[in-house]
Structures are given as structure tokens and as C-alpha cells.
Chains A and B, each alone.
Chain A
Amino acid sequence: MVCFSSGSFDKYNFFIIEVNELELIINGEKIQIPANESTVAELLQHFSLHQKVVIVELNDEILEKENQNETRLSNGDKVEIVHFVGGG
């Protein structure tokens, strides 16, 4: 969602663009995503991870795959996205 507002203050005209974003902590890093992508499934799609084997933990709780579509994200959420890598 994008909000515009404009007006004048004293002799200056102003024009503000406010883009709604969600700030998440993904794998320990602060990352902004567009606010309209606010479910876990949409987050995965945003990073093109939806067809990968990934496991998501939201605020220290493991999220089952079948719940990714309806689980909504809020500002400040802690998201861990892990996958399988080579190992012995």
C-alpha cells in the first residue's frame, strides 16, 4: 500500500510518499518487505523460495507447511528460514 499526502507549510510545498513496509528479522538480519506480502507463503514467494525445500520458524515456533498460507506476519517478527545442506 502506498499513501500520498501533499500540502504547503509556510512558503514550502511538500509532498510525502509513504510506502508501507513490514520490518522483519529474517535469519538474524533486519529486512523490509512490502506490507502487502504479509503471509509466510507470500514472504517465501517474495524471495522465490516457495518451490524450495525450506523450513520456517516464526518467533521460535516451527511453522508447519500447511499453515504457511494463513499465517500472517507483523512488524518485528523473528523469522528463521533454514534448509538442508551437505553434511556428514
Chain B
Amino acid sequence: MLKIGSYEFSSRLLLGTGKYSSFDVQKQAVEVSETEILTFAVRRMNIFEASQPNFLEKLDLKKYTLLPNTAGAKTAKEAVRIAQLAKASGLCDMIKVEVIGCQKTLLPDPIETLKAAEELVKLGFIVLPYTSDDVLLAKRLEEVGCHAIMPGASPIGSGQGIINRLNLRFIIEQSNVPVIVDAGIGTPSDATIAMELGADGVLLNTAVSGAKDPIKMAKAMKLAIESGRLGYEAGRIEKNEYAIASSPVEGMSIG
């Protein structure tokens, strides 16, 4: 079970809802992924196109917990405002804090992220900050009361997988709240590695929505995350420099 604040989930996959080719493909991808947490962004509505369908309307909202993000915010103040708008929908009290500090790399601004997270905890949100893989920043985010820490594997949408396994391992080892690897996942094996390192979950979007067959990739990601988790729980063998025979060395009928 993945426990975040007062919530419990049996799936460890958090799925983004951006950039799908169609609602139909997206709906099927969401279903086969068996995710229970879907992320969304908050944006101005085109009031003259009210008839345009919205993906949210196509979902059975009893089945999913919504995790709106504060994407678009450049400061803590903007992030807090977006979080409050999202909460006023009456549909959610979880928030993914995302305060981008650089438009080219989309890396988070650590200082504004920490400020926003602290404020949102005080306001009673369940707070999941997207952060870099900085070990000490992850600690500080936990200390201000965040309910999970979400370090990036590599830049958003880059599909580069986990760049710094060591930092990720340090963050996982020190954390008393769930660690969810967010951003940069490209392949199912990237997700498996994150889970084998002991991550509590993986948040991904483009890896599925941008795949040639998003529905198949959604299934692959689900299995990869389950596989990595089982591997982590089972406990891996020690690495050795030289070979260690699997077959008995005694009782051979030769010589």
C-alpha cells in the first residue's frame, strides 16, 4: 500500500493527463495502467467554447484521486494561488507543487518550491513537491511537513531515465515520507530501476502519452512498477567481482 497523508493506494503509478492524441486513447491508457492518481493542470477556460469536452468529464471520479499541479507558477505566491483555485473545485485537497525556475531545463526553483510547500502544508493541503534530486532539499521539504517527496529522474519530458541513482538512493534512505520519482522516465526499465532503488511510486506522463502505442505502454509501465517493487521487497543478491557457481562443485562424475 502507498500511503500519502490520509490516502491509501494499491497502485504505485501516478499518471499525468497531458498530451494524449485523443480522449479515447487516453481513457484506455488510464484504465489499463490501473492508476488511482491522475495529475491535472489548472488553466483559464475558453468561455466561448464551453461545449468542448474535457477529459475530467469522461472519468468516474469515484475511482481516481486528483492531483492537480501548480505548473505555470514561477513563484511560491503563484503556486499557492493555483493550489487554492484547484482546491476550490471541491474535488481534491492534494497538490503537486511545481515551481519552475528555468524554462529551458524546466528544473524546479528550490527556494520557491520550499516556500510554497511550507505555506501549503500550513493551509491544510496534502503536499507533494516536485523537486530536483538534491538530497538536502528533500530533507528540508520533509521537515516543513510535505506528505511525499517527488524528485525528478531527469528533466521533465526528456525521457533520459534516472541520471543520478546515488542521490535518489540517498533521498529514499533518509525519507520518512513516500518518495515518488517524478519526471524524466522514458522506458519501463527506468520505472523498474526507480522502484528497485526503493521508491514508493513513479509519476510519469510523456513516457505513456508520447509512446507509439500509449495503451500498450501504460500496461508496460504498470507491470514495470509492480516488478520493480516486488524485486525491492524480495531483496537483491550482493554483487561480486567474480563468478559464484550455481551448481554444486562436489559430486561430479568426471575425473
Binding site for B on A (CB under 8 A): 26-28, 31, 47-49, 52-55, 57, 62-65, 80-88
Contacts and interface: CB of A to CB of B under 8 A. Distances in A.
Contacts of B69: 87-88
Contact of B50 (A48, A63, A65): A48
B89 interface: yes
Interface of B: 16-20, 26, 39-45, 47-48, 50-51, 54-57, 66, 68-69, 71, 84-86, 88-91, 156-157, 183, 203-206
A65 B90 contact: yes
Contacts of B18: 86-88
Contacts, number: 98
Contact of B45 (A31, A64, A82, A86): A82
B42 A53 contact: no
B84 A62 contact: yes
Contacts of A81: 44-45, 47
Given A84-B42, A88-B156, A49 B91 contact: no
Contacts of B43: 82-83, 85
Contacts of B71: 87-88
A52 B68 contact: no
A82 B51 contact: no
29 contacts: A31-B47, A47-B47, A47-B48, A49-B47, A52-B45, A52-B57, A53-B57, A55-B42, A55-B88, A62-B84, A62-B88, A65-B88, A81-B45, A81-B47, A82-B42, A83-B54, A83-B56, A84-B40, A84-B56, A85-B41, A85-B43, A86-B20, A86-B40, A87-B41, A87-B69, A88-B16, A88-B17, A88-B183, A88-B205
A84 B41 contact: yes
B206 A57 contact: no
B47 A84 contact: no
A53 B50 contact: no
Contacts of A57: 85
A71 to B, nearest CB: 13
A88 B18 CA distance: 6
Given A52-B54, A55-B86, A85 B47 contact: no
A31 B45 CA distance: 14
A84 B205 contact: no
* Of A55, A64, A87, most B-chain CB atoms within 10 Å: A87
A85 B40 contact: yes
Contact of B17 (A65, A82, A86): A86
A21 B71 CA distance: 36
Contact of B19 (A26, A64, A86): A86
A48 B51 contact: yes
Given A53-B89, A62-B88, A88-B18, A82 B44 contact: yes
